[in-house]
Structure 1
Amino acid sequence: MDFETWWLIFVPILFALGWVAARVDIRQMLSETRNLPDSYFKGLNFILNEEPDRAIDAFIEVAKLDPETTELHFALGSLFRRRGEMERAIRVHQSLLARSDLPQAEREQALYELAHDFLKAGMLDRAEQTFQQVLETRYAVSAVRALIRIYESEHDWPRAIDAVRRLRGLVDEPVPQLAHYQCELAQAALAVKPPDIQEAVAALDAAEHAAKKLVGDGQGQAAMTRIAMLRAGVARMQGEYDGERVFLESVLSGAPAYSGLVAAQLYENYQRGGQSAQGLALLRQHYLRHPSLDVFNVVFRGLREQTGHDQAWAFAREALQAQPSLLGLDRLLEVELAAPEGERVAVQGQSLADLGLLRKLIHRHTQRLDRYACRECGFEARHYYWQCPGCNAWETYQPRRIEEAV
Structure 2
Amino acid sequence: MDFEAWWLIFVPLLFGLGWLAARFDIKQMLSETRNLPDSYFKGLNFLLNEEPDRAIDAFVEVAKLDSETTELHFALGSLFRRRGEMERAIRVHQSLLFRSDLPIAQREHAQHELAQDYLKAGMLDRAEEAFAVLKETSFALPALRALIRIYESEHDWGRAIEAVDSLRKLVDEPVPQLVHYYCEQAQAALALKPTADVHAAQKALTQAVHAAQAAQVAPGSPSLVRVAMIRAGIAGSLQDEVAKRQHLESILKQSPEFAGLIAQDLLAGYIASGESAAGLALLLAHYEQYPSLDLFNVVFRAMRAQQSAASAWAFARNSLQNHPSLLGLDRFLEAELAQVEQEGKGAEPKQVAVPGADLALLRTLINRHTQRLDRYVCRSCGFQARRYYWQCPGCNAWETYKPRRLEEIE
Q: TM-score, normalised by structure 2?
A: 0.95
Find the aligned partners of 1:284 and 1:293 in 2 and give their Cα distance.
Answer: 13
Q: CA contact under 8 A between 1:337 and 1:344: conserved in structure 2?
A: no
Report the Cα offset of residue 20 of structure 1.
1.4
2:373 alignment partner AA: L
Shift of the alpha carbon at 1:250? 0.7
d(CA) in 1 for partners of 2:7, 2:252: 94
TM-superposed CA distance for 1:323, in Å, is 1.6
Name the SS of the counterpart of 2:137 in structure 1: coil
2:229 is the counterpart of 1:225: no
Matched, 1:389 2:393: yes
How far 1:214 sits from its partner (Å)?
4.3
Cα RMSD (Å) = 1.4
TM alignment of 1:239-254, pairs within 5 A:
239-254=239-254
- Range with greater deviation from structure 2 (171-180 or 12-21): 12-21
- Aligned counterparts, 1:288-367, within 5 A: 288-339=288-339, 340=343, 342-347=349-354, 350-351=356-357, 354-367=358-371
| CA distance, structure 2, for counterparts of residue 191 and residue 207 of structure 1 | 18
Q: Secondary structure at the match of 2:354?
A: coil
Aligned pair 1:169/2:173, yes or no?
no
Q: Is the 8 A contact 1:211 1:220 kept in 2?
A: no
| Unaligned residue ranges in structure 2 (runs of 5+) | none
Count residues with an aligned counterpart. 402
- Which residue number corresponds to residue 110 of structure 2? 110
- Percentage of matched positions with identical amino acids: 67
CA-to-partner distance for each residue in 1:222-280, whole Å, 9 max, x for gaps?
Answer: 01100000000110111111111111111111100101000001111111111111111
Residue pair 1:215, 1:221 contacting (<8 A) in 2 also: no
Answer whether contact 2:336 2:353 (CA < 8 A) is retained. Answer: no
Amino acid at match of 1:200: A
- C-alpha contact (below 8 Å) 1:214/1:220 kept by paired residues: no
Distance, in Å, in 2 between the alignment partners of 1:283 and 1:307 is 15
Q: Which residue of 1 is the match for residue 203 of structure 2?
A: 202
Give the whole-Å Cα distance in 2 for the aligned partners of 1:254 and 1:294.
Answer: 18
Tell me the CA shift for residue 190 of structure 1: 0.4
SS at match of 1:133: helix
Alpha-carbon separation, structure 2, partners of 1:215 and 1:9: 74
Letter in 2 for 1:383: R
Return the letter of the residue paired with 1:345.
V
TM-score, structure 1 as length reference: 0.96
Separation of aligned partners in 1, 2:95 and 2:304: 72
CA deviations over 1:323-344 (Å, ceiling 9, x no partner): 2211111111111112126324
**Which aligned pairs between 1:137-176 and structure 2 lie closer than 5 A?**
137-176=137-176
Contact map agreement 2:96 2:110 (CA 8 A) in 1: yes
Post-superposition shift, 1:147?
Answer: 0.4
Cα offset for 1:9?
2.5
Amino acid of the structure 1 residue aligned with 2:37: P
Unaligned runs of 5+ residues in structure 1 are none
Amino acid at match of 1:245: R
Distance 1:276 1:291 in 2: 20
Contact 2:390 2:398 in 1 (8 A): yes
Q: Check conservation: 1:384, 1:397, Cα contact below 8 A.
A: yes
Structure 2 CA distance for aligned equivalents of residues 276 and 102 of structure 1: 74
Q: Matched residues in 1 for 2:2 and 2:76: separation? A: 64
Q: Say yes or no: does 1:268 pair with 2:257.
A: no
